[in-house]
């Protein structure tokens, strides 16, 4: 296909595709799917070889959130039967992180529910970062604490954080249909704060909330403009007890096309398959490794993921290798910082069904509620994690 040849050439040159080209990737047929994967795979291998970076989530504070993000099981008004607990102590969080690191993860992502951290919360997380880094040489730590106030990103950086995650989630045009307690601009501002503090910015999206192709392209182009080092691609996990529990809009083929589009638009960044891959990619997960160079190991924040052992076997069977702690994730032109993530240097998880665009006309997919299980182990419990 001339389209794919053009996109590969642009990806190797880090040239931005046109919106029409990005939309055309999403519109390709299932008959052309393997050609799309092969083309995007050339771009992925050019910048990242066959390495797969493993990341591990530690949920520092579960539930109890005052925000109304409709996709989230920790939201205000959620009736999902998730684990709920207040802040883990630094030693508890470090113990949880150790399980993921033992399984091969090189980055620990510390996540806490809430609108944003207080200064006391930043102190707590700083103590946790120190505890993890004192016990694990070379580990990367990413914090995900919500909206940042002035000075907080700098404090996290000083405490040893390498990165900060704050996702855009969807297009600016549809954002108000997902969340009313904060704005799209608030999220953009937090990503800018992370950049300015010298943290490696991590920002991505959630697909499957009823958005249109145009919405997906809008948010990925916005991410390209923000220039994060990492772009997590989440596929909505429709958890019972949330407003989007009935949104089953994704097929494995659709997920692969979305990942391919993200790779073409963001060719040299860490594209991470995040929440929902087991639910929506299912047996097609190994194909997604030809598009993304990063995954989460084991469980997610409030739901179960694939067992860590199965993740490792999948990577090996697909002909890929786990990225080592001594390897730099990003290409040389991006890896300007001191850590393996390539931190930037500095001078100093929709409202009611169908509101998010035109995808409501798409065929209804089979609801696979059997694949959605609430996390009952790991952080916040006495049971061993699934790492």
282 assigned to active site: no
Question: Is 285 strand, coil or helix?
Answer: helix
| In contact, 143 and 117? CB cutoff 8 Å | no
142 assigned to a ligand binding site: yes
Which among 124, 144, 187, 202 is annotated as catalytic?
A: 202
69 assigned to a ligand binding site: yes
341 assigned to a ligand binding site: no
Which among 75, 157, 224, 272 is annotated as catalytic?
A: 272
Which among 44, 69, 107, 263 is annotated as catalytic?
A: 69
| In contact, 114 and 149? CB cutoff 8 Å | no
255 assigned to a ligand binding site: no
* Closest C-alpha to 153, from 115, 194, 214, 117: 194
Which among 75, 107, 109, 187 is annotated as catalytic?
A: 109
For residues 316-350, b (16+ Cβ closer than 10 Å) or e, as one string? eeeebebbebeeebbeeebbebebbbbbbeeeebb
Cα–Cα distance for residue pair 302/314, rounded to 1 Å: 23
Which among 44, 75, 107, 142 is annotated as catalytic?
A: 142
| In contact, 84 and 64? CB cutoff 8 Å | yes
**Taking the alpha carbons of 248, 251, 255, 258 in that order, is the dihedral positive or negative?**
negative
**What is the full DSSP assignment across 157-205?**
HHHT--EEE---BS-HHHHTTT-SSS-HHHHHHHHHHHHHTTPEEE--E
142 assigned to active site: yes
356 assigned to a ligand binding site: no
Which among 44, 72, 224, 375 is annotated as catalytic?
A: 72
Cα–Cα distance for residue pair 231/223, rounded to 1 Å: 8
144 assigned to active site: no
**CA–CA–CA angle 202, 125, 131 (5° rounding):** 105
350 assigned to active site: no
72 assigned to a ligand binding site: yes
What single DSSP character describes residue 85?
A: B
350 assigned to a ligand binding site: no
Binding site, by residue number, is 65, 69, 72, 109, 142, 202, 272
Binding site for [2Fe-2S] cluster, by residue number, is 109, 142, 202, 272
Binding site for [4Fe-4S] cluster, by residue number, is 65, 69, 72
Task: Enumerate the active-site residues.
Answer: 65, 69, 72, 109, 142, 202, 272
């Amino acid at each position: 296909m001339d389209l794919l040849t053009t996109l590969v050439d642009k990806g190797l040159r880090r040239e931005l595709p046109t919106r029409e080209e990005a939309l055309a990737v999403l519109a390709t047929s299932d008959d052309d799917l393997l050609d799309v994967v092969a083309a995007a795979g050339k771009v992925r291998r050019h910048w990242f070889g066959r390495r797969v970076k493993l990341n591990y989530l530690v949920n520092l504070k579960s539930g109890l959130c005052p925000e109304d993000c409709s996709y989230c099981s920790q939201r205000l008004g959620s009736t999902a039967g998730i684990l709920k607990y207040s802040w883990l102590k630094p030693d508890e969080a470090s113990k949880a992180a150790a399980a993921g690191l033992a399984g091969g993860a090189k980055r620990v992502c510390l996540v806490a529910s809430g609108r944003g951290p207080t200064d006391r919360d930043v102190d707590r997380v700083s103590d946790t970062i120190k505890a993890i880094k004192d016990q694990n040489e070379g580990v990367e730590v990413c914090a995900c604490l919500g909206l940042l106030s002035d000075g907080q990103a700098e404090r996290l950086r000083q405490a040893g954080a390498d990165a900060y995650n704050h996702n855009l989630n969807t297009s600016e045009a549809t954002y108000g249909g997902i969340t009313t307690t904060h704005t799209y601009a608030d999220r953009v501002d937090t990503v800018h704060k992370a950049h300015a503090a010298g943290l490696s910015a991590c920002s991505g999206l959630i697909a499957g909330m009823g958005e249109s192709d145009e919405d997906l392209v809008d948010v990925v182009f916005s991410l390209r403009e923000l220039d994060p080092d990492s772009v997590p691609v989440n596929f909505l996990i429709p958890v019972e007890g949330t407003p989007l529990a009935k949104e089953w809009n994704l097929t494995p083929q659709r997920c692969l096309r979305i990942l391919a589009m993200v790779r073409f638009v963001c060719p040299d960044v860490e594209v991470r398959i995040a929440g929902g891959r087991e639910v929506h990619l299912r047996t097609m997960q190994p194909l997604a490794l030809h598009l993304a160079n990063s995954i989460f190991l084991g469980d997610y924040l409030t739901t179960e993921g694939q067992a860590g052992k199965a993740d490792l076997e999948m990577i090996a069977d697909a002909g890929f290798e786990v990225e080592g702690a001594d390897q730099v994730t990003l290409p040389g032109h991006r890896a300007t910082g001191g850590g393996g993530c390539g931190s930037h240097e500095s001078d100093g998880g929709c409202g009611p069904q169908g509101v998010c665009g035109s995808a409501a006309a798409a065929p209804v997919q089979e609801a696979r509620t059997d694949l959605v299980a609430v996390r009952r182990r790991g952080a916040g419990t006495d049971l061993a994690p699934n790492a």
